[in-house]
Chains A and B, each alone.
Chain A
Amino acid sequence: SQQGEEDPQALSIQEGENATMNCSYKTSINNLQWYRQNSGRGLVHLILIRSNEREKHSGRLRVTLDTSKKSSSLLITASRAADTASYFCATESGGSYIPTFGRGTSLIVHP
């Protein structure tokens, strides 16, 4: 069953702009992870945020988590053409530590 849902489904921006994508989920979570997928390739882990954290940074990535709204956002600052990819959130909830993935946001960064 899919827990997280990313929004928007697709995002097209110019190089240098910031990209923001959101993930909403339905039930309480233990943690939330963001992954990136280049076309047709395996997913690569970007960042993990635990349920008791509100914000994390990794390079140009900033992730926030609002458990009261059951949502997370991924911000990519100063985007580059190489950031073009699909981005997925994965949530783990309850007694299960098995992550459930959303359908993803497709990001295109135009040079």
Chain B
Amino acid sequence: EAQVTQNPRYLITVTGKKLTVTCSQNMNHEYMSWYRQDPGLGLRQIYYSMNVEVTDKGDVPEGYKVSRKEKRNFPLILESPSPNQTSLYFCASSFSPLGTYEQYFGPGTRLTVT
């Protein structure tokens, strides 16, 4: 089944404790991205990747890192999480960023930073 998976689905952590949210897709998609969703603000893009080893900042990259060492995986790293990073996070992928293709979204990771 074609899908985007994220882990963990729920995470409660404390300020400053490094964490990684994994994202994996099984559709051989070139393009992957991370969004955060906050009430009243909609979806905001954090980082995106056009292909392996090609990443770039989205609208709200501060406090986040990403890597794309393999085509299927695109982990989101919070080196020193802070309470303002409490949010619902989504990973998404699409066949290619060149031309127009629908994005497939993961189920989301609800992160709480205390």
Residues of A within 8 A of B (CB): 1-2, 30-31, 33, 35, 40-45, 48, 50, 88, 90, 92, 97-104
Contact = CB atoms under 8 A, between A and B. Distances in A.
B98 A43 contact: no
A30 B110 CA distance: 32
B108 A98 contact: no
Nearest to A4: B42
A97 B59 contact: no
A78 B18 CA distance: 48
A9 to B, nearest CB: 9
B64 interface: no
A31 B100 CA distance: 8
A45 B102 contact: yes
Contacts of B43: 43, 88, 101
Contacts of A92: 100
A35 B104 CA distance: 10
B102 A42 contact: no
Contacts of B44: 2, 101
B102 A104 contact: no
Contacts, number: 56
A1 B42 CA distance: 11
Contact of B40 (A31, A40, A103): A103
B104 A104 contact: no
A98 B100 contact: no
A97 B48 CA distance: 12
Contacts of B97: 97-98
A51 to B, nearest CB: 10
A97 B99 contact: yes
A100 to B, nearest CB: 8
B52 interface: no
B44 to A, nearest CB: 8
B106 interface: yes
A97 B104 contact: no
Contact of B90 (A33, A42, A99, A100): A42
